[in-house]
Amino acid sequence: MPTTTHDGLPPLHTHKPSRRTTANRVFVVVHFSAILALLYRHTLSLLHSTTLTSFFITLTFLISDTLLAFMYTTIQSLRMKPIYRTEFPENLKRVVEEPDFPALDVFICTADPYKEPPMNVVNTALSVMAYDYPTEKVSVYVSDDGGSALTLFAFMEAAKFASHWLPFCRNNNIVERCPEAYFETDHSRFPEAEKIKIMYQGMKVKVTNVIERGKVDQEYLTGKREIQAFNKWTDGFTRQDHPAVIQVLLDNSKDRDITGHLMSNLIYFSREKSRTSPHHFKAGALNALLRVSAIMTNAPIVLTLDCDMYSNNPDTPLRTLCYLSDPKLRSKVGYVQFPQRFQGINKTDIYASEFRHLFIINPCGFDGLLGPNYVGTGCFFSRRAFFGGPSELLPPEIPQLHPNNVVDKPLQNPEVLELANHVASCDYENNTTWGYKMGVRYGSLVEDYFTGYILLCEGWNAIFCNPERAAFLGDAPINLLDALNQSKRWAVGLLEVGFSKYSPVTYGVRAMGPLMGLGYAFGFWAFWAIPITTYAFVPQLALLNGITLFPKVSDPWFLLYAFVVLGAYGEELVDFVLSGGTFLKWWNNQRMWIIRGLSSFAFGFVEYFLKSLGISTHGFNVTSKVLDEDQRKRYEQGMMEFGVPSPFFVPLTVAAIVNLAAFAWGHVEIFRGGGSFEELFVQMFIAGFGIVNCIPIYEAMISRNDKGKIPTKTSLVSTILAFVLYAAAYPSRQTTANRLFAVVHSCAILTLLYHHSLSLLNSTTATSFFITLTFLVSDSILAFMFTTTQSFRMRPIYRDEFPENMKRVVQELDVPALDVFICTADPYKEPPMNVVNTALSVMAYDYPTEKLSVYVSDDGGSALTLFSFMEAAKFASHWLPFCRKNKIVECNPEAYFATDHSRFYEAEKIKDVYQGVKVRVNNVIEIGTVGPEHVTGEREIQAFSKWTDKFTKPDHPTVIQVVLDSSKDKDVSDHLMPNLIYVSREKRRTSLHHFKAGALNALLRVSATMTNAPIILTLDCDTYSNDSQTPHRALCYLSSDPKVGFVQFPQRFHGINKNDIYACEHKRLYKINPVGMDGLLGPNYLGTGSFFSRRAFFGEPSHLLPPEIPQLCPTNVVSNPIQSPEVTELAHRVAACSYEISTNWGSKIGVRYGSLVEDFFTGYRLHCEGWKSIFCHPTRAAFYGDAPMNLIDVLNQNKRWAIGDLEVAFSKYSPITYGTCVMGPLMGLSYAHYAFWPIWFQSHAYIQDLLDFVLAGGTVQTWWNDQRMWLIRGLSSFLFGTIEFFLKSLGIASHGFNVTSKVLDDDHSKRYEQGTIEFGVPSAMFVPLTMAAIVNLAAFAWGNVEVFRGKCSIEGVFVQMFIAGFGTMNSKPIYEAIINRKDKGRIPKKTAVVSTSLAFALFAAAHVTLRN
């Protein structure tokens, strides 16, 4: 037993090796030999596989067991040299004088006062402030990363209470120095305890009241110092964006307790945060603390604590000094780690929250090597360890941060505070080594594991100190979802290290040696998901299929399996019990490991790799420390908590169902004589073992009625998925389900499906079976989509209008008023001059100006857009009379002046005025702000006064600015002009805004209060009017049939190149299909160019759904001027972000929420409610817009549509169920055509489609490009959209509304005009396209080689050669972009290399699969 002494002085610590070390080493050799033998058997079985099924099953087990062997090896490395330490803190003062004790800085991190109650943090701080340690040497820093005034208030109260609590603990030698924990025990033996308790309860009530109110009221602030402290919390102070706050609450140079003793320093700290700067979560907070504390106290020892991890032993710092004061260790010890221990865990620890292996058993093994890993809390660091290895100090950028710097100025000295604020700024770390070579390390969600690992790699040692009385006690998550989310976050973070350049199996082994490197390789935790998932499903599914996977009981190989499994479990049980655990806790621990493998580890594994591919991102979620009483009671009773729907619970429930079914089926088979017990024993045992572990899941599904039961939705989804899994295991039984696709429109398709079905039934190998099955499923989907396409062809009609007759039917005075809605959101993606031109084009309509109101919704809340419209209003006074006088048809100034306009002498003058407007607007856009020099009148100055520093795009008040008032504003010819109103609805981060749908609903309400026109035209910001007669065309229908809800004009685009290489015209979507739907109930709403009856937004034609206030009723007559105070006030009220709460807006009234394609969903719902629509397609295009002109924008736009369509398709309003029932089969199938777009890649039978296309005005060349783009979308937008939708449905990913950019640079424009496809940026969506191009070219070339070599006949491979050749022809632009092109639009090299590698991988996989 080695003992450390100092020149004859008593020892400070000692350690002894584990008595089981030799036995461990012998067992490892024997057990690992058995594992190698098992892997050898798998390899032999793989080589001798006779079918594809047996090959893949064996390969699955080989991979799973190899991973198990690897993970087992990492654990065994920690059993090679475990040691146990003992300290003698009672000897410390005989070795080191108390005045010579080093100073101690304590870091306590918190982030959210609602998830981490401030009273918990206060208790943690008070417990360490009461340490048996010189108070003048202790400084407690509380990092509040949420920047909450509530937390600061709690610590101000704590500082007052500390003046009573600290002397009470000191005078009575209290051991339990956390007030909350102490007052829960018997404290009656000290007479003053009750008085202290009353003071504590008073503080607790006061803090809790403030938390419930959500703010610190003036009544709680008594002194000037307190009031001054809270002055920093202004309206612009948010959690994500605020300045640094450093508040010294206690100063040990002057603040004393009630007995006159000085108290420890207590400093509240919240670092600066900005949305534009990365903050690195907890790691960033700790580094900020390191710097701030260096400036203020710079103690050589630093203790890091989680906010809920209070001190349970007042002599803990003395135990640490037993190591850090040892001259033999001092220069090499980087940190002393105490185990995490938890309070409040139930008797059998059902969630395995103790993590006994992670926090006690493994650290003892590490301690015999270089030392334990850092676990994020309860760790005393040498400050020097954060600044390079023991032999090489890495100097910080300023001398005040040097670990040896002596702070000689008072804590609250202005220079100290100024420098502390400087090093706490969010941009301080820029161009420094903080987080990379210095301080806590960035690069992983588990900053503690990564930091400890890097420190040990740099040459530091660590000590594991595990005294009999727990040094710290904390809170563990005590509901299942929190436990799994925490484990998932750890799994993702560990993988970030495992697959980085610092991987333990490479870098770690070189830097620390093989045992430490392998020990740290437990970071590949998430790998457990693969073997656990394999053993949770594969043996069971094989059992259901009557396939035997394991040796019989009488087979010698069975003994090998038994030894490997029982040996591993037995060894773990021994370790667990000897470390102080019980058998029941061990059982729950292994069950939770299985649960984590099927949920946390699996989802963490997926999330990490999605993030690596750029598909998904992850962040740091604070684990909640709050639990309601019902949950706590169930937890104490040992009942698992499943109460909320979560994708985590789905694989668990599926596994429970599959294991139960397999176990029951195994018994049936044995009793029927279908299999022997000997052969099925192992699979029956595994299924039975799964069932025993799943007992809490069965109870939560069936017998429980409390709120912690598994939600019905989860049970249903899991049952369906279990049946799907079961069906996948029985592919031959899918034939009946596949025959559901038999009802199709075409006899040819029926014949093809019949052919596939026969081939499937007559398959002789697994390979041919699965290939045929793939074609059957694909062609069945094509048949379904083809059927939806045919619904458009059942009753197409073509309309003509006679707007010239309107004035003979309806007098001009009786023409209904028209409100035009133009939506924009970003002045940089949607240039304001485009929006201005759209507005001017409709303001110039041949329509009574007093009945025309144009509302511009600026969802970006940009002053630049408002300025543009103020300039537009001035120009309109010249432009409108010019158009009226000269009967201009092209009323968009930009489009008009691009043509020959010389026949009107005043045109050049108007053009000069327009160019002046354009120059001023573009100047403002480039500058990025509207300066005083741009604003001339008092009205304009007042309008822009709303844009304060607090006004941001996602957080701002409502702005409604009447730019033109039709009752008084006149043009240069003295005619009144239309109303022009700028609207930017209120936005708050805490409120949903529903993207464009929310903006349109806000416009509906605002316009109702100001003008309430019965007709509404909705326009995209870039869709300008091309025909001044368009409103009269719409009125030809809206005035004749009260059931017409809207009149839809086709989307047409200008600037599209000759052959429309990106198929932006969407002829089917915007022309062919609407003509077909027009013969039924009418076309779908396309989001722009649509004239609505306002009444259609308020319920069915026969039943008005009244809005919540009468002023919003579509029949209400507005009698007040639009700028009257009453109107303005009400308009602001209905534009508030909270207005829609508890109303029908978005669900039954207005534009509908629930899909990214709000236009499609709204039109669909209106049709379902009984409204009709009209497709109006005049010879002269009514509107022209901008189409995306580079491939990535096209694909991203299509992906967004795909996701939105799927949101409708898989909602309760699915067109094939709800739609068919409500509107009839043809309309239901028509809408299903759009809703299920993403699940296919081919839209047509080619000849029929070509005919439709040419008759609709297309050419063969544009049709060819259209079908090519359909294939491209299928391999990119639709594929990624489908994946993103289902990931979002499972809660793994989320999506939002991205504005399609309307800006293109000159090089892009030139290439587009030349018909060159633009690939220039790296994108995951280009990978499957490039792979397909390579595979098709290789297949076509190889087919020709095989034909010429005589290996096969052209007859036999003609169809495959044709398909590959067709793919090659369609891929021509891709080959050019890989090989020939040198411009910026070529395919990036990285994409080409990745695609080539994946193509080869696909070829190799196919070769292995198809050749067997």
Start-to-end CA distance of the chain, whole Å, equals 62
**Selected catalytic residue, list 105, 112, 145, 475:** 145
**Selected catalytic residue, list 448, 482, 955, 1205:** 448
Q: Is the CB of residue 648 less than 8 Å from the CB of residue 600? A: yes
Burial class (CB in 10 A: 0-12, 13-18, 19+), 1095: middle
Instruction: Determine if residue 306 is labeled as part of a ligand binding site.
Output: yes
Instruction: Determine if residue 282 is labeled as part of a ligand binding site.
Output: yes
Q: Given the structure tokens 């089969």, which residue do they identify?
A: 1225
Residue 407 CA: distances (Å) to CA of 105, 292, 410: 13, 12, 8
Instruction: Determine if residue 116 is labeled as part of a ligand binding site.
Output: yes
Helices 1260-1275 and 1246-1255 pack at an angle, to 10 degrees, of 130
Q: Over 60-89, what HEC string results? A: HHHHHHHHHHHHHHHHHHHHCCCEEEEECH
Q: How many CA atoms lie within 13 A of 276 on its CB side?
A: 3
Distance CA 399, CA 789 (A): 74
Residues 6+ apart with CB under 8 A from 860: 824, 825, 826, 827, 953, 984
Give the rounded distance of the alpha carbon of 1206 from its chain centre: 19
Burial class (CB in 10 A: 0-12, 13-18, 19+), 968: exposed
Strands 472-475 and 310-311: antiparallel
Q: Given the structure tokens 């006679």, which residue do they identify?
A: 802
Is 779 designated active site? no
Q: Is the CB of residue 100 less than 8 Å from the CB of residue 193? A: no
Give the rounded distance of the alpha carbon of 1151 from its chain centre: 26
Distance CA 538, CA 659 (A): 10
Q: Decide: helix, strand or coil at residue 117.
A: coil
Q: Decide: helix, strand or coil at residue 792.
A: helix
Which residues, in sequence order, are bridge partners of residue 979? 853
Residue 1279 CA: distances (Å) to CA of 204, 381, 617, 943: 55, 50, 19, 47
What's at 728, amino acid-wise? A
Distance CA 1230, CA 1209 (A): 12
Helices 52-76 and 21-47 pack at an angle, to 10 degrees, of 170
| Alpha-helix residue ranges (DSSP H) falling in 77-213 | 92-95, 118-129, 149-172, 179-183, 193-213
Which residues, in sequence order, are bridge partners of residue 238? none
Burial class (CB in 10 A: 0-12, 13-18, 19+), 615: middle
Helix (H) or strand (E) holding 689: helix 677-693
Q: Is the CB of residue 855 less than 8 Å from the CB of residue 981? A: yes
For CA atoms 124, 129, 133, 136, give the dihedral sign. positive
For CA atoms 1024, 1026, 1031, 1037, give the dihedral sign. negative
Nearest residue to 977 via CA among 871, 868, 840, 1075: 840
Residue 1103 CA: distances (Å) to CA of 1089, 1099, 1169: 27, 6, 10
- Torsion angle of C-alpha atoms 382, 384, 389, 393, degrees rounded to 10: -170
Distance CA 862, CA 870 (A): 13
Residues 6+ apart with CB under 8 A from 777: 738
Is 145 designated active site? yes
Q: E strands, 210-367, where?
A: 245-250, 265-270, 301-306, 310-311, 333-337, 342-343
Q: Which residues are annotated as a binding site for Mn(2+)?
A: 282, 306
Q: Which residues are annotated as a binding site?
A: 115-116, 145, 282, 306
Q: Which residues are annotated as a binding site for UDP-alpha-D-glucose?
A: 115-116, 145
- What are the catalytic residues? 145, 448
